[in-house]
């Protein structure tokens, strides 16, 4: 553990030329105890790879409080999972247990805890008051087995999600990265059906979709650290933001199929694309947000209404 000397509260960096969702982040830790083969932290934190937990959580809350009070007319979506897993360290640190009581009382914020773990026991004792979303990054079990080392299984994630929903939390799911392989359609459709058989979709805050994206540097690291991974063998194209993605037509096809499968189970749930171009948005949904603020505003009303009606 160490004291963080910089700012805690930051705008999500997003990606140049892509539509982002007007998201903010607070980082209470740096790096992750899990070891996903595709994780961008391998490259992003290559020169600072130690796992750190910041002990001055009081400073974090004070900084967030100043920002929220300064901008009372702005509705903030804030996440803690940019450079760490939001819950994987919770059994050791109890950090999230200090954040929930504060954020649950703030009128202009929604806190998202994003995880690949099932470490939710400490959350179940709090009343989230419609201000805290617990979200899971989701992939089929075959992908988890191959590339999401040290994470909870699909079944464990769904059991944790069900427990959180029963405790009053809204849920989110992030299908990111979506990975293309020989039977990906069968696996992803089955996963979606399993998810919606386990939880009440009407209590979902949102779902996001994002295909596998890497950088040339990350791809080299993946080859060195995970020589058996199949993720470095597929065809990708270098996009204007410096990231490697599947070819445009394949991405559109994958997103359309995912949206179709989701809509069969949850007709009106909010779905957005993560770090995608305006052209892809238009081809998948028939529209594209004019800017990140517009997308952020589209995400907020339903959540605010639920909190108001509570």
Instruction: Please measure the distance between the N-terminal and C-terminal CA atoms of the chain and give it in whole angstroms.
Output: 38
Q: What is the pLDDT of residue 4?
A: 86
* Inter-residue contact 168 to 128 (CB < 8 Å): yes
pLDDT at 22 over 80: no
Structure tokens belonging to residue 106: 């703030």
**Assigned domain for 1 exists:** no
Residue 3 corresponds to which tokens in the numbers above?
A: 């004291």
**Which span out of 41-50, 68-77, 207-216 was modeled with the highest average pLDDT?**
207-216
Q: Does the reported pTM lie above 0.85?
A: yes
pLDDT tier for residue 11 given thresholds of 50, 70 and 90: confident
Give how far the C-alpha of residue 86 lies from the chain's centroid of Cα atoms, to the nearest Å: 10
Instruction: State the CATH number of the domain containing residue 48.
Output: 3.80.30.30
Domain assignment of residue 3, yes or no: no
Q: Look at residue 180 and tell me if it is in a domain.
A: yes
Q: Which of 78-82, 235-239, 281-285 has the lowest mean pLDDT?
A: 78-82
State residue 254's pLDDT score.
99
Number of helices and strands in the chain (H, E):
11, 14
Average pLDDT of the chain to the nearest whole number: 91
Give the model confidence (pLDDT) of 154-191 as tens digits.
Answer: 999 999 999 999 999 999 999 999 999 999 999 999 99
Residue 17: per-residue pLDDT: 56
Residue numbers of the domain that contains 223 = 9-309
Among 12-16, 77-81, 154-158, the range with the most confident prediction by mean pLDDT is 154-158
pLDDT score of 309 more than 50? no
In the three-class reduction of DSSP (H, G, I as helix; E, B as strand; rest coil), residue 200 is classed as: coil
Check residues 299 and 158 and name the one with the higher pLDDT.
158
pLDDT digits (tens, 9 = 90+) for 87-111: 999 999 999 989 999 999 999 999 9
Is 4 a member of any domain?
A: no
Provide the number of structural domains found in the chain: 1
Whether residue 213 is contained in a domain is answered as yes
**Are 128 and 105 a contacting pair, CB within 8 Å?**
no
């Amino acid at each position: 553990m160490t004291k963080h000397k910089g700012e805690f509260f930051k705008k999500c960096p997003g990606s140049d030329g892509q539509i982002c969702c007007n998201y903010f982040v607070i980082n209470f830790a740096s790096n992750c105890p899990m070891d996903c083969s595709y994780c961008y932290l391998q490259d992003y934190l290559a020169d600072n790879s130690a796992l750190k937990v910041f002990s001055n959580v009081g400073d974090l809350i004070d900084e967030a409080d100043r920002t929220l009070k300064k901008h009372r007319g702005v509705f903030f979506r804030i996440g803690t999972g940019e450079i760490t897993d939001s819950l994987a360290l919770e059994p050791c640190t109890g950090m999230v247990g200090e954040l929930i009581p504060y954020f649950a009382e703030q009128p202009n914020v929604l806190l998202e805890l994003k995880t690949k773990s099932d470490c939710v026991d400490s959350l179940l004792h709090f009343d989230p008051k419609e201000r805290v979303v617990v979200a899971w990054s989701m992939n089929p079990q075959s992908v988890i087995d191959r590339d999401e080392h040290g994470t909870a299984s699909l079944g464990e994630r769904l059991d944790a999600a069900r427990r959180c929903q029963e405790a009053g939390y809204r849920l989110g799911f992030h299908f990111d990265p979506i990975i293309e392989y020989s039977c990906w359609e069968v696996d992803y459709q089955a996963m979606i059906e399993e998810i919606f058989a386990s939880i009440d979709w009407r209590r979902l805050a949102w779902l996001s979709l994002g295909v596998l994206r890497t950088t040339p540097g990350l791809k080299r690291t993946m080859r060195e650290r995970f020589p058996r991974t199949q993720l470095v063998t597929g065809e990708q194209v270098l996009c204007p933001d410096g990231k490697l993605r599947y070819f445009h037509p394949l991405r559109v096809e994958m997103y359309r199929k995912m949206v179709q499968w989701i809509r069969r189970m949850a007709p009106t749930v909010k779905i957005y694309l993560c770090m995608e171009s305006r052209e892809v948005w238009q081809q998948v949904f028939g529209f594209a947000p004019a800017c990140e603020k517009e997308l952020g505003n589209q995400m907020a009303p339903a959540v605010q209404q639920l909190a108001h009606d509570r």
